[in-house]
C-alpha cells in the first residue's frame, strides 16, 4: 500500500517539477509497450494508439470507424440544419464538435493504419523509436477536444439553455450537447490515451483563441452576441467573471478530474490483466 502511494507521489513530483512522467503499461495480447522521451515527457504507446482493454482488436476498429462516421454525419447535419441568425462557424459548440470530429477521424485513421501495417512493423518491448507525427496529432486532438466538449455541455445546460425558455431539447441539442459527452465518456472508457495535467495549457489556448475571435466579431457589430449572459461583451463585467471562473477554477478542476479518471482506468485495467494472468 505504501509503495503504491509513494509511486503516485513521485509521479506528481516528476510531472510538476521535472516535467518527466514515467508511464508503464502492462502488455496484453493486442498491445505492445514503448517508452519514449517527447517534449520532456515519457509517454506510453499502444498498438493503434488506443486499445486499453484486452479485447478483440477488430471490434475496436469497428468502434473507431462507427463513432467517426457518426460524428461526421452529425457535423454535416448541424451545418445543413443551421437556421440561426449568426453563421455556423461563430459558435463555440460547433468549433468544439468539429474538433471532436477531427479527433475521432484521426484516431480511426491511426487504428486503420496500424491494422494494415502491424504485421510488417513488429516492435519488441522496451524498444524505443520516434512516435509518428500522426500519433502525436491524434493525442493532441484528444487532449483538447475532450475537455472542450465537457465544458461546452456544462456551460450550455448551466447558462445557455435556461435562457432559451424551452422545456425540451431538439435533435441538434441532443447530438451537440449530450451525445458529445457520451462520446467523451466512451473515449475515456475504451481508449488508452494518456492524460497529463500540463495539457490543460492546450485547453487554455483553445479558449483564448475563441475569446479573441468573439471580441473581434463583436467589435464589427455589437449585436453579434453568441452567448448572452455567458460570453456577452455588451456586459463585460459578467463576461469577465465567467471567464475568470472558467480559467482559474473550471478548467483546472476538470483537467484534474480527467487525470484521476485516467489513473483509475489504468489501475482497473492492470487489475483485470493480473486476474487474467492468475487464471
pLDDT tens for the chain, residues 1 to 279: 444 444 444 444 344 333 333 333 333 333 333 333 332 233 344 433 455 555 557 788 889 999 999 999 999 999 998 888 899 999 999 999 999 999 999 999 888 887 777 643 433 334 445 677 888 898 999 999 999 999 999 999 998 998 888 888 988 899 999 999 999 999 998 888 889 999 999 999 999 999 999 999 999 999 999 898 899 999 999 999 999 999 999 999 999 999 999 999 888 878 776 666 555
If one counts every other C-beta atom within 10 angstroms of the C-beta of residue 199, the result is: 20
Contact 25, 192 (CB under 8 A): yes
pLDDT at residue 4 in the model: 41
Using one digit for the tens of pLDDT, what is the confidence trace for 117-138? 764 343 333 444 567 788 889 8
Q: Give the C-alpha distances (Å, rounded to integers) separating 87 from 12, 103, 225, 234.
A: 44, 23, 12, 19
Exposure string (b/e) for 80-91, b if CB count within 10 Å is 16 or more?
A: eeeeeeeebebb
Q: Backbone phi, then psi, for 161, in 5-degree steps?
A: -60, -40
CA 270 to chain centre: 22
pLDDT at residue 85 in the model: 85
Domain boundaries, the chain: 2-190+198-278
- Whole-angstrom distance, CA of residue 120 vs CA of residue 107: 20
Long-range contacts of 247-252 (CB under 8 A, 24+ apart): 247/204, 247/207, 250/151, 250/154, 251/147, 251/151, 251/200, 251/203, 251/204, 251/207, 252/200
Using one digit for the tens of pLDDT, what is the confidence trace for 31-47? 333 333 332 233 344 43
Cell numbers given for 86: 449568426
pTM, rounded to two decimals: 0.78
pLDDT at residue 166 in the model: 84
Q: What is the chain's percent helix, strand, coil content, to nearest 5?
A: 70, 5, 25
- Whole-angstrom distance, CA of residue 269 vs CA of residue 107: 21
Amino acid at each position: 500500500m505504501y509503495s503504491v502511494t509513494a509511486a503516485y507521489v513521485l509521479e506528481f513530483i516528476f510531472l510538476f517539477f521535472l516535467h518527466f512522467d514515467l508511464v508503464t503499461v502492462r502488455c496484453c495480447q493486442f498491445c505492445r509497450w514503448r517508452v519514449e522521451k517527447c517534449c520532456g515527457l515519457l509517454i506510453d504507446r499502444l498498438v493503434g494508439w488506443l486499445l486499453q482493454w484486452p479485447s478483440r482488436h477488430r471490434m475496436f476498429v469497428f468502434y473507431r470507424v462507427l463513432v467517426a462516421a457518426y460524428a461526421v454525419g452529425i457535423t454535416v447535419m448541424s451545418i445543413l440544419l443551421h437556421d440561426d441568425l449568426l453563421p455556423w462557424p461563430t459558435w463555440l459548440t460547433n468549433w468544439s464538435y468539429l474538433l471532436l470530429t477531427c479527433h475521432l477521424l484521426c484516431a480511426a485513421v491511426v487504428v486503420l493504419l496500424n491494422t494494415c501495417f502491424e504485421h510488417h512493423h513488429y516492435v519488441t518491448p522496451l524498444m524505443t523509436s520516434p512516435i509518428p507525427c500522426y500519433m502525436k496529432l491524434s493525442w493532441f486532438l484528444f487532449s483538447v477536444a475532450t475537455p472542450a466538449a465537457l465544458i461546452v455541455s456544462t456551460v450550455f445546460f448551466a447558462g445557455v439553455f435556461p435562457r432559451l425558455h424551452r422545456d425540451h431539447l431538439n435533435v441538434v441539442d441532443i447530438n451537440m450537447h449530450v451525445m458529445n459527452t457520451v462520446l467523451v465518456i466512451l473515449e475515456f472508457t475504451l481508449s488508452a490515451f494518456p492524460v497529463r495535467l500540463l495539457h490543460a495549457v492546450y485547453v487554455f489556448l483553445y479558449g483564448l483563441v475563441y475569446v479573441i475571435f468573439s471580441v473581434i466579431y463583436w467589435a464589427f457589430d455589437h449585436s453579434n452576441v453568441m452567448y448572452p449572459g455567458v460570453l456577452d461583451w455588451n456586459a463585460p463585467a459578467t463576461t469577465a467573471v465567467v471567464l475568470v471562473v472558467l480559467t482559474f477554477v473550471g478548467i483546472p478542476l476538470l483537467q484534474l478530474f480527467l487525470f484521476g479518471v485516467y489513473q483509475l482506468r489504468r489501475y482497473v485495467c492492470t487489475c483485470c490483466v493480473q486476474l487474467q494472468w492468475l487464471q
